[in-house]
Amino acid sequence: MIDRLNDIYELYDRIIRSTALACGPGCAGCCTCNVILTGLEARMITDRLPSPRREILHAAITHGFPAKRYIPKMSTNGFARLCMEDVDLPEEENDPAWGNCPLLENDLCTIYDVRPFGCRAMVSETHCRETGSAQMPPWVLTVNNVFLQAIEHLDQNGHSGNLSDMLLLTLSENAVTGQEHQNHDPKNKGLFVKNESIKYLMIPPEHRARMAPIVRNLSHLINTGPETDHSNHR
Ligand code: SF4
Ligand code: SF4
C-alpha cells in the first residue's frame, strides 16, 4: 500500500510540474498546524524515516504540539458524498493564525521527502506573502481534490486526522518511545474521522475531459487488487 501511495505522489508531481508556481524552498507561509493526512500517509512517514529521525520527529511534535489546530469533522470522500446527497455539512473551524506546523524549522520542512499530500497540494501561482493567500488555478484545485479522494480511498479502512494527532498515534503504535498515547485512540475520541471509499468524484463538467486520463491512472493505482504490504519492512 505504501508503494502505491508513493506512486500516487509521483504521478501528482509529474502533473503539477507543468504549472508555473511561486513555491520554493524557504517559502513556508502555508506550513500551518492545520494539515490533515490519512493514517496510511502517517505510516509512510514513520516507516520511511530511520529510527533517529523518528525520535527527532516525536520530540518536535510533543514540544511544538499545537493547542489549537484544525480537527476534521468529515473526510474528503465523506464531504463529496454529503454534497451529492444534499445533506447539510458540519461546521468546521480552521485558522492559519493558530500557528506553524511543529515540523517546520527555520522555514524548512524537516520531513520534506516524505511529507503528506496535504502539503504537496498547497501550491500557488503567486507568492502568498504578497497576495495574502494562495492563488490556485481552478484546474489544480480539481486535480488536488481528486488526488485527496484517491489517497483516502486507498486507506478506506483507516482514519484521517490532523498531522500532529495522527503522527503521535502512529509513533505510539510503532512504540518509538515506549509510551502510550491513550488520548489518541482513533475509536473513542473526536480527533479522527473514518475514511471512506470514493462514491462521487469531485470533477466539475469543464474539467472532465482533461481529468479522464488522470482518473484512469489513479484508478489503476488504487484498484489493482491485493499486493504485498511492505510497510512493516524497515
Ligand atoms: S503555497 Fe504560498 S506560502 Fe506555500 S510555498 Fe507556495 S507560495 Fe509559499
Ligand atoms: S509537514 Fe513539512 S511541508 Fe507539511 S506543513 Fe509541516 S513543515 Fe510544512
The protein residue whose alpha carbon is closest to atom 8 in ligand 2 is: 31
Angstrom CA distances, 49 to 46, 109, 163, 169, stand at 5, 14, 16, 16
Q: Which residues contact 197 (CB under 8 A, 6 or more apart)?
A: 77, 153, 156
* 24, amino acid identity: G
CA 174 – ligand 1 centroid, Å = 32
Of the listed ligands, the closest to the CA of 127 is 1
How far is ligand 2, taken at its centre, from the CA of residue 33, in Å?
8
Q: 18: domain range?
A: 2-222
**Residue 14 to residue 116: CA distance in whole angstroms:** 16
Considering the domain boundaries, does residue 171 fall inside one? yes
Question: pTM of the entire structure?
Answer: 0.89
In a domain, residue 230? The reply is no
Q: Which ligand is nearest to the CA of 101?
A: 2
Whether residue 16 lies inside any domain: the answer is yes
Is 206 domain-assigned? yes
Domain-located, residue 231 = no
CA-to-CA dists, residue 176 to 40, 168, 171, 181, angstroms: 17, 10, 6, 12
pLDDT digits (tens, 9 = 90+) for 102-123: 999 999 999 999 999 999 999 9
Q: What is the pLDDT of residues 150-173, one digit of tens each?
A: 999 999 999 999 999 999 999 988
Within-domain flag for 229: no
Expressed in angstroms and rounded, the spacing between residue 93 Cα and the centre of ligand 1 is 21
> Could you tell me the CA-to-CA distances from 100 to 107, 169, 191 in Å, in that order?
10, 20, 19
* Total count of domains within the chain: 1
| Residue 232 resides in a domain | no
> Are 63 and 167 contacting, i.e. CB atoms less than 8 angstroms apart?
no
- Domain membership flag for residue 234: no
pLDDT in tens, 55-106: 999 999 999 999 999 999 999 999 999 988 888 888 888 999 999 999 999 9
